[in-house]
Amino acid sequence: MPGGAGIDLRKTLFGLACLALVAGCTTIVPAEGPEARHGDEAAAPAARPGYAADGTLQPWVETSHGEIRRVSGAEGCVALTFDDGPHPTLTPRLLNLLAEENVHATFFLVGQRAQEWPDVVRAISAGGHEIGNHSWNHANLTQLENSAITRQLAMTDAAIFAIIGREPDIVRLPYDAGSPRVLSLIDRPVIFWDIDTLDWKAGSVGEIVDSAVRRAWSGSIVLMHDIHANTVSAVRGVIDGLRARGFEFVTVSELLSGRPCRVSTVVAAAGP
């Protein structure tokens, strides 16, 4: 995506994140937020989630304390997300599979690993997938000083920029570990998830497929990790199962746009 479009996208995402924050942007955005850096006027006051300041209905980004976990309005869309890579062999295997299925996903990369395997990062980007920032060395950011948190994210941005010429528009916090202080230091949407496949607990392929397929809603964000072989083995089943329920796959930034993927109704999940 060209630089100008990237800035627009970031502004759009930022705006959505602001809309979603009942408490307002002041708790999330530092004084020199992206709006100020781009020379725009100050961000509008917080509106009711789901509505713009002029009262028009907007995509509703579901949040709690600034955490984006699922996106309402994105009817029929699901975002598959893969954390903790890149992995030198498993990530390329996953990329081949996603290409065969014509699915675009989102990869939250650990900066140190991105620097170690730049070819894999390039392949992720070339495949049309989105890349997010998952800290430099998978630190628990809540346990770090402000300056160290900023450095974790900035080093990862720089490593990814050096490889693909673009910084991530979105961030995911390692260990689901966030706090108002951590969130206040991040000037981009912080993406959590509503569907945890628990693949990191060495779940079987069947368990991973089942947890993703059965529990997904429109706008769901599915958490997986492309550093586990079982996860990669499960992805085809996840894609087949979600497609059978009527879902289409988008990147997280596409999901945040709130645009519906299709008109037809998503089939309700079987069982509890």
Q: Is 178 in the site for Ni ion (CB under 5 A)?
A: no
Provide, rounded to whole angstroms, the least separation between the CB of residue 84 and Ni ion: 4
Selecting among 83, 169, 199, 210, the annotated active-site residue is 83
Chain centre distance of CA 13: 11
132 near Ni ion, judged by CB under 5 A: no
Instruction: Let me know if 225 is a catalytic residue.
Output: yes
Shortest approach of Ni ion to residue 134 CB, angstroms? Answer: 6
Give bridge partners of residue 155 from the DSSP assignment. Answer: none
**Which among 87, 129, 134, 225 is annotated as catalytic?**
225
Our CB check for Ni ion shows the closer of 62 and 83 to be 83
- For 248, which DSSP code? E
Q: Which of 143, 134, 147, 201 is nearest to 174 (CA)?
A: 134
Binding-site residue total for Ni ion (CB under 5 A)?
Answer: 3
Helices 229-244 and 205-215, interaxial angle, to 10°? 30
Residue from 62, 67, 83, 254 binding Ni ion (CB under 5 A): 83
Q: What is the CA radius of gyration of the chain?
A: 18
| Cis peptide, bond prior to residue 118, ω within 30 of zero | no
- Does position 84 bind Ni ion by CB under 5 A? yes
199 in contact with Ni ion (CB under 5 A)? no
CB of 87 to Ni ion, least distance (A): 12
3-class DSSP state of 128: coil
What Cα–Cα distance (Å) separates residue 200 from each residue in 42, 79, 84, 113, 190? 42, 18, 11, 18, 21
Q: Which is nearer to Ni ion, 12 or 112 (CB)?
A: 112
> Is 83 known to be catalytic?
yes
Shortest separation between residue 71's beta carbon and Ni ion, angstroms: 21
Applying CB under 5 A, the residues found at the interface with Ni ion are 83-84, 174
- Catalytic residue set: 83, 225
